[in-house]
Amino acid sequence: MKTLLAICLLLSLSVFGQNSSNTKNDKKSKLETITLAGGCYWCVEAVYENLIGVKSAISGYAGGKIPNPTYEAVSTGRTGYAESVQITYDKTVTNLDEIFKVFFTVHDPTTLNRQGADEGTQYRSAIFYKNEEQKKAAQNIINALNKAKIYNSPIVTTLEPLTQFYKAETYHQNYYENNKNQPYCEMVIQPKIKKFEKLFKSRLKRE
């Protein structure tokens, strides 16, 4: 993979030149949601909670068919569900372009059903779109990244229609904030957060 700075530069100069939402819709509602899977949901949630404009990042499950999945069931890799994060954001502060820019920067979209040591279909890279606008924006991003050969391997991120999102168990919510000293948080989540903070320092929430 090329440098993360190159990724950000490509995204800012290509398909991300325009805001994905339109003015008419903004007048109706300034809040929008997108559901993303990029490996362990603790990592994805922790990153987006620090992005300006994000109102909430909820860990949960998407992509499967059985109702009310549990963490134990999803962890088997046989339910079809992926550990996912449903992001609610203010379109007047951020947009789908930036949401995707962060997504393709903080995880590896070229490893099939795996992120680091986390392996299985529940850890797949996926974008769960709720309308054609989101699907088209996601496909444009993937096409641009592949064309520019930003990564050494083709992107395997799947585009899947969002049929249902189930919120994960309470102890999974805000996991990083509540468990910063645990080894997984220190070795896996913190490097992703530092990478995000370095490349998006002007877009961080201020305490």
Q: Give the DSSP per-residue string, 61-121.
A: EES--SSS--HHHHTTT-SS-EEEEEEEEETTT--HHHHHHHHHHHS-TTSTTEETTEESG
| Alpha-carbon separation of residue 13 from 18, 53, 198 (angstroms) | 10, 21, 19
> Which one of 8, 40, 43, 185 is the catalytic residue?
40
Burial of 18 (0-12, 13-18, 19+ CB in 10 A): exposed
Active site residue 8: no
As annotated, the active-site residues are 40
